[in-house]
A = this chain, B = another copy of it.
Amino acid sequence: MRFTTQAEYGLICTLHLARFGAAGPVAAREMAEKEDLPADYTEKILRRLRQAGIVTSVRGVSGGFELARDAREISVKDVVEATEGSTFEINCRQHPVGAERCDTTHDCSIRPVWYALRTKIDELLDQIRISDLLEGGEVGVTELIDITWQDHGDTNLTMER
């Protein structure tokens, strides 16, 4: 299970705007070049971010994109949902094993697992804001997340494997 590149690119673009967008709108082409991403694809991602109300666009000669609100008010979940459509999709909804089997009227003891997982994923992604990723570099961000989420600290956020 993984996110597509759209989530990654979406975060990169949002982060780029949070860093360099204060002085005025940033053109998609320029952003793509600076971040070394495919230009046309970047444009498409930005369009999705705009449709979700995360960024605003300015058309015309010196147009481009800006964050629609403060970086503290934009969560990773917002960006992921905007780009991917959803965070974690419940299989038995969109890709049911069997029509009747996966119907809500039928009892399934596996279903609660996916719902619980989705809740966990959404909780974490919603808690992390774009502003959290702006300072401290990779180490700083890791520590910040680690502090916030050390409730069930059986495993830790090392990069082992």
Instruction: Give me the interface of A with B, judged by CB distance under 8 Å.
Output: 1-3, 5, 7-9, 11-12, 15, 36-37, 76, 84, 86-92, 94-95, 97-98, 101, 104, 107-117, 119-125, 128, 133-134, 136-138, 140-142, 145-146, 149, 151-152, 154-159
Which of B12, B37, B97 contacts A8 (CB under 8 A)? B97
**Copies of this subunit:** 2
Which of B107, B136, B154, B159 contacts A138 (CB under 8 A)? B107
Residues of B within 8 A of A9 (CB): 97
Which of B12, B120, B152 contacts A110 (CB under 8 A)? B12
Q: 8 extra interchain contacts, Cβ-Cβ under 8 A, other than A1-B88, A3-B91?
A: A1-B86, A15-B110, A109-B140, A112-B138, A112-B141, A113-B145, A116-B149, A123-B155
Q: B159 near A98 (CB under 8 angstroms)? A: no
Which of B84, B94, B104 contacts A1 (CB under 8 A)? B84
* Known contacts A91-B3, A120-B124, A159-B104; A113 and B8 CB within 8 A of each other: no
Q: A5 near B95 (CB under 8 angstroms)? A: yes
How far is B113's CA from A140's CA once the two chains are assembled, in angstroms?
A: 12
Residues of B within 8 A of A91 (CB): 2-3, 5, 7-8
